[in-house]
């Protein structure tokens, strides 16, 4: 422990601060000192630039988030860069090994398997989730009696996620007494092994992912409610049918929301962990998702340096896919504000 922090803790304990709160005292003193510096800086800026009151107030109001982001996100990310260049078992001091962890990662066959499983899951599940959520939103956008009830029913499964969802589907897809095989047996079909079969484990997880499309459906539904009705009226006057209205009005207006859900879906699919963890990687590493393999190296094999290198490899993969998606969306996403700005420039 740092001698200064130890001295502050001893001083706080001698003042009668409860033992539970003693570890927080150095952090609180740091925040007080930081805000004192920010306050003095704001006071000086206000005296020099009297018209900057709103700007100063803005930065002061968002400073709690900025400080938390710097301490709890940027700080650990910078630390993980150094850790990825070391060999560290969490017990002995880290030893600097340079890029050895990255070299090992590119030669590790399980890293290739983890990337293959994760990317295959994302390539299949994200389009399916995006399409299903959009179709359901279109159906639930109709103003019919009882529609609010159906919207609630579609959203409720999104509240069951993580380990609870995986345990539920382990029962549903149990090859001996699961609901899925029982239904298939009633129509004369012999059900597969699902999670117990290496060739069926990943498709089963992809089917599971469709269980939680309610969250994206709500976002689509909000977007559909925001489409101006006069666009449909103008299209109808021009003689457009339902399909043409959907293609030339609904899709362009919804394209930014589709892009948002696709991006969040891509990022979420590449960070999938729980299914692989509960299934212990699946038979023959069929559910060896990248984040699960990272976790296994960090907290099972105590190879924190190697796990940090894997985390940065995943970060680069996500960044690359997100960048490609955003670049490609420029030809398909319609922003009304951009079109208005271009017309004004002309």
Q: What is the CATH number of the domain that holds 268?
A: 1.10.3720.10
Domain boundary among 83, 114, 148: 83
CB 57 within 8 A of CB 36: no
Which tens digits make up the pLDDT trace of 228-269?
A: 999 999 999 989 898 999 999 999 999 999 999 999 999 999
User: Is 97 domain-assigned?
Assistant: no
165 and 31 housed in the same domain? no
User: Is 34 domain-assigned?
Assistant: yes
User: Is 91 domain-assigned?
Assistant: no
User: Is 20 domain-assigned?
Assistant: yes
Domain, as residue range, for 270: 104-345
Provide mean pLDDT across the span 309-316: 96
**φ, ψ of residue 87 in degrees (nearest 5):** -110, 110
226 and 307 housed in the same domain? yes
Q: Tell me how crowded residue 264 is: count the other CB atoms within 10 A of its CB.
A: 14
Burial label, 189 (beta-carbon count in 10 A; 0-12, 13-18, 19+): exposed
Question: How far is C-alpha 167 from the geometric centre of its chain's CA atoms?
Answer: 21
112 and 239 housed in the same domain? yes
- The token duo for 182 is 């029982």
165 and 208 housed in the same domain? yes
User: Is 92 domain-assigned?
Assistant: no
Task: Estimate the crossing angle of helix 251-270 against helix 109-140, to 10 degrees.
Answer: 150
Which tens digits make up the pLDDT trace of 271-297?
A: 999 999 999 999 999 999 999 999 999
List the Cα angle 243/249/252 in 5-degree steps: 115
113 and 75 housed in the same domain? no
User: Is 93 domain-assigned?
Assistant: no
329 and 203 housed in the same domain? yes
Banded pLDDT at 343 (limits 50, 70, 90) = very low
254 and 130 housed in the same domain? yes
User: Is 68 domain-assigned?
Assistant: yes
Banded pLDDT at 2 (limits 50, 70, 90) = low
Which tens digits make up the pLDDT trace of 73-95?
A: 998 999 999 999 999 998 899 99
**H or E segment to which residue 316 belongs:** helix 304-329
Query: Rounded to an integer, what distance in angstroms lies between the CA atom of residue 116 and that of residue 144?
Result: 44
CB 114 within 8 A of CB 293: yes
63 and 209 housed in the same domain? no
Instruction: Count up the domains in the chain and report the number.
Output: 2
Query: Is the predicted pLDDT of residue 101 greater than 90, yes or no?
Result: yes
Domain boundary among 52, 83, 114: 83
Percent of residues, the chain, with pLDDT higher than 90: 58
Question: How far is C-alpha 33 from the geometric centre of its chain's CA atoms?
Answer: 34
Q: Which of 56-60, 181-185, 291-295 tops mean pLDDT? A: 291-295
Spatial CA neighbour of 287 closest among 120, 108, 107: 120
User: Is 96 domain-assigned?
Assistant: no
String of DSSP letters for 32-100: HHHHHHHHHHHHHHHHH-GGGHHHHHHHHHHHHHHHHHIIIIIHHHHHHHHHTTEE--SSSPPEE-TTH
pLDDT of residue 61: 86
144 and 195 housed in the same domain? yes
229 and 167 housed in the same domain? yes
Query: Rounded to an integer, what distance in angstroms lies between the CA atom of residue 252 and that of residue 224?
Result: 11
Spatial CA neighbour of 130 closest among 329, 274, 335, 331: 329
69 and 118 housed in the same domain? no
Which tens digits make up the pLDDT trace of 137-147?
A: 999 998 888 88
73 and 109 housed in the same domain? no
CB 169 within 8 A of CB 160: no
């Amino acid at each position: 422990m740092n001698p200064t922090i130890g001295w502050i803790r001893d001083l706080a304990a001698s003042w009668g601060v409860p033992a539970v709160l003693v570890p927080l005292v150095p952090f609180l003193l740091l925040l007080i000192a930081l805000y004192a510096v920010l306050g003095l800086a704001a006071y000086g800026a206000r005296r020099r630039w009297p018209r900057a009151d709103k700007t100063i107030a803005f930065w002061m109001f968002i400073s709690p988030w900025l400080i938390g982001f710097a301490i709890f996100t940027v700080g650990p990310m910078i630390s993980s860069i150094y850790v990825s260049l070391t060999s560290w078992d969490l017990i002995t001091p880290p030893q600097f090994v340079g890029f050895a962890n990255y070299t090992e990662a590119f030669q590790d066959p399980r890293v290739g398997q983890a990337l293959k499983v994760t990317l295959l899951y994302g390539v299949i599940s994200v389009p399916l989730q995006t399409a299903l959520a959009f179709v359901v939103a279109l159906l639930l956008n109709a103003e019919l009696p009882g529609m609010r009830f159906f919207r609630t029913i579609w959203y409720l499964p999104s509240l069951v996620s993580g380990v609870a969802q995986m345990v539920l589907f382990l029962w549903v897809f149990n090859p001996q007494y699961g609901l899925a095989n029982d239904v298939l047996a009633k129509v004369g079909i012999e059900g597969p092994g699902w999670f117990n079969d290496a060739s069926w484990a990943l498709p089963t997880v992809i089917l599971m992912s469709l269980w939680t499309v309610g969250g994206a459906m709500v976002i689509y539904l909000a977007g559909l409610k925001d489409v101006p009705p006069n666009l449909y009226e103008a299209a109808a006057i021009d003689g457009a049918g339902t399909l043409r209205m959907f293609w030339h009005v609904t899709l362009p207006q919804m394209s930014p929301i589709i892009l948002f859900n696709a991006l969040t879906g891509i990022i979420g699919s590449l960070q999938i962990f729980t299914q692989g963890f509960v299934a212990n990687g699946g038979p023959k590493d069929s559910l060896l998702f990248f984040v699960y393999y990272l976790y296994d190296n960090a907290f099972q094999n105590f190879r924190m340096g190697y796990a940090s290198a894997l985390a940065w490899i995943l970060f680069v993969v996500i960044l690359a896919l997100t960048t490609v998606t955003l670049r490609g969306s420029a030809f398909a996403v319609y922003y009304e504000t951009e079109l208005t700005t271009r017309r004004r420039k002309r």
